[in-house]
């Protein structure tokens, strides 16, 4: 899909460079506030490795949680972590393995390797990794096949969810391997196919040059082909400054277009703290859902008193458990009315950033150039190899 360049137009070259530098600088500063590589929180690791899956062109690690009472024909949830996280950290924060114990389904956690991305982000903006064959998307599909074969999973009850880069990769999987999934949930993510390369990824995260609704839907249809498309739920915080809420609106446009739904909302629920809207087919089957969490920043909504998940970096206790609500919508947990979300406590202003260290082997002259400065920051943010 073609998108309008954010750095072109009729402006002079100097103005264009200045505007682009401001955009990059602001976004890089936000990304650099993430946990640095190696600063993994100490959490229980309940997962085991799934080995022997093939092919693995994306060079990913596969981790799983299988409850002791898993029965043949159980469901499988695929959960994709965000940047700076690993599978165990994401499981601890979201509580997917805890819910799996209670409800008897299995969970697959694809995990990025630092050799692929310095900040452990799935490469949702690399052309090779978001194609059906030849990159990270194909590796995740191979893991799913291996998990189905190893644990007697029902192929019709496979679901996928993820946060941030994992949310964007969830959109990738729903577009490139739609026949694998009954439904998906994208949390703080971005539309499929809207960015190729680091510069476009940063622009889209800031809401710049997002595609038209028709163009975004056409991008998914072009790669998915004439198959049944999965249901999609889209979660986002209205105060997200890392992946701005315009990406939620673009995702809604993309998937409403994929399912041929109008923008008119047939059903909505509004409560203090959140808004839930549902678009259904003529038979009343929900196909696209929106969960808009008011005043929430970038992260997974959790409910600290539910016993599912734990607050931490990018795990935000807003009194609403996205894990529970997603599982209920997929028929994996008992459906009850969701709670009224508590208003989140504002995040303290981040401390002043320290100067990034020079890249190994960089010359003094290179370190002093604008390009080298941008590249250093992009590597630190995990958006450049």
Residues marked active site are found at 164
Rg of the chain's alpha carbons, rounded to an integer? 20
Asked if residue 276 lies in contact with residue 291, where contact means CB atoms within 8 angstroms, the answer is yes
Q: Report the residue count for the chain.
A: 385
Strands 183-187 and 267-271: unpaired
Residue at token pair 């093939």 = 54
- Name the token pair of 261: 């739904």
Strand-strand pairing, 61-65 and 106-111: antiparallel
The angle, 0 to 180 degrees and rounded to 10, between the axes of the packed helices 96-103 and 322-329 is 40
Distance CA 123, CA 383 (A): 8
**Distance separating alpha carbons of residues 299 and 22, to the nearest angstrom:** 25
């Amino acid at each position: 899909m073609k998108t309008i360049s954010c750095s072109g137009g009729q402006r002079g070259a100097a103005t264009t460079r200045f505007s682009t530098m401001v955009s990059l600088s602001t976004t890089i500063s936000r990304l650099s506030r993430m946990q640095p590589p190696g600063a993994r929180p100490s959490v229980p690791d309940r997962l085991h490795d799934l080995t022997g899956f093939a092919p693995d062109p994306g060079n990913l690690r596969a981790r799983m949680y299988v409850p002791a009472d898993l029965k043949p024909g159980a469901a499988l949830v695929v959960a994709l972590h965000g940047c700076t996280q690993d599978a165990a950290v994401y499981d601890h924060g979201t509580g997917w393995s805890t819910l799996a114990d209670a409800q008897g389904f299995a969970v697959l956690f694809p995990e990025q390797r630092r050799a692929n991305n310095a900040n452990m982000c799935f490469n949702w903006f690399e052309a090779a990794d978001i194609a059906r064959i030849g990159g990270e998307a194909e590796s995740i599909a191979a893991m799913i096949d291996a998990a189905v074969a190893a644990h007697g999973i029902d192929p019709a009850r496979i679901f996928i969810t993820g946060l941030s880069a994992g949310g964007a990769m969830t959109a990738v999987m729903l577009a490139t391997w739609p026949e694998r999934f009954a439904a998906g949930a994208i949390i703080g993510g971005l539309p499929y196919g809207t960015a190729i390369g680091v510069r476009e990824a940063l622009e889209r995260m800031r809401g710049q040059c997002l595609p038209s609704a028709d163009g975004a839907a056409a991008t998914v249809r072009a790669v998915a082909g004439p198959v049944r498309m999965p249901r999609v739920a889209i979660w986002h915080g209205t105060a997200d400054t890392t992946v701005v809420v315009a990406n939620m609106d673009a995702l809604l446009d993309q998937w409403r277009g994929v399912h041929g739904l109008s923008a008119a909302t047939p059903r909505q629920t509004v409560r203090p703290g959140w808004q839930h809207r549902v678009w259904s087919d003529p038979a009343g089957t929900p196909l696209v859902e929106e969960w808009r969490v008011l005043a929430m920043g970038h992260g997974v909504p959790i409910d600290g008193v539910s016993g599912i998940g734990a607050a931490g970096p990018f795990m935000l206790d807003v009194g609403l458990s996205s894990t529970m609500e997603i599982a209920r919508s997929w028929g994996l947990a008992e459906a009850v009315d969701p709670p009224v979300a508590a208003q989140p406590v504002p995040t303290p202003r981040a401390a002043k950033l320290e100067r990034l260290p020079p890249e190994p082997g960089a010359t003094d002259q290179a370190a002093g150039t604008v390009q080298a400065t941008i590249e250093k920051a992009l590597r630190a943010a995990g958006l450049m190899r």
